[in-house]
A and B are shown apart, each in its own frame.
Chain A
Amino acid sequence: KNQVEQSPQSLIILEGKNCTLQCNYTVSPFSNLRWYKQDTGRGPVSLTIMTFSENTKSNGRYTATLDADTKQSSLHITASQLSDSASYICVVKGNNRLAFGKGNQVVVIP
């Protein structure tokens, strides 16, 4: 079983709308959690890095939350744009190793 589970697997949203992506993990001990954006055929680009003590971190229209007690994180995209169409990957670090989620595939339509 994958140590990092993301949901929904994919979603389609209208331009301008908000959406929230979920990441649940079982990695222990926990070091940090990262959200990456990966455009099709490109490498992942970091959006946020969160440590145990951080609950919320924003990067422009992207806001990540972390609940280390329940081992859940979310990535909220505000006022989505067409350029937000991508795969969003949750990566959890623990025991000096990285565990990758399969990604949330987001498609923003006009």
Chain B
Amino acid sequence: GAVVSQHPSWVICKSGTSVKIECRSLDFQATTMFWYRQFPKQSLMLMATSNEGSKATYEQGVEKDKFLINHASLTLSTLTVTSAHPEDSSFYICSARAQGSSRNTGELFFGEGSRLTVL
């Protein structure tokens, strides 16, 4: 079946540095990808919708200059956490919907997630 890959699966960084997380659809094209963050025992919170070839759409309260999203191709979206701080520590997950799938029942595939720890 379709697979969405995230890299890195975990990262530890110092406060003030920037971290890039990649999300790739391995065997299908995705014009739209989604980025979420998840705190322990909480539901996934949509951060932004990544659109291939155009600017991402951010959810209310999510700083676009803090969380840079680039959807450079139909199989790759990246999330860069700029000037990371300890409060940015979280589990970041991406998802993608296969192009051409039914809008009503289209399968949404999630990546394995990336655990970010900012010291």
Contact = CB atoms under 8 A, between A and B. Distances in A.
A29 B91 CA distance: 30
B115 A41 contact: yes
Contact of A103 (B43, B104, B109): B43
B108 interface: yes
Q: Which range holds the interface residue count of chain B? A: 20 to 34
A68 to B, nearest CB: 14
Contact of A43 (B6, B41, B103): B6
Contact of B107 (A4, A46, A51, A102): A46
Interface string B88-119: 00010101000000011101111111010000
Contact of A42 (B4, B45, B112): B112
A102 B43 contact: yes
Nearest to B107: A46
Given A41-B113, A43-B93, A43-B113, A102 B41 contact: yes
Contact of B44 (A2, A51, A89, A105): A89
Given A31-B104, A49-B105, 16 more contacts: A32-B104, A32-B105, A41-B113, A41-B115, A42-B112, A42-B113, A43-B110, A44-B110, A46-B107, A46-B108, A89-B43, A98-B108, A101-B43, A102-B43, A103-B41, A103-B43
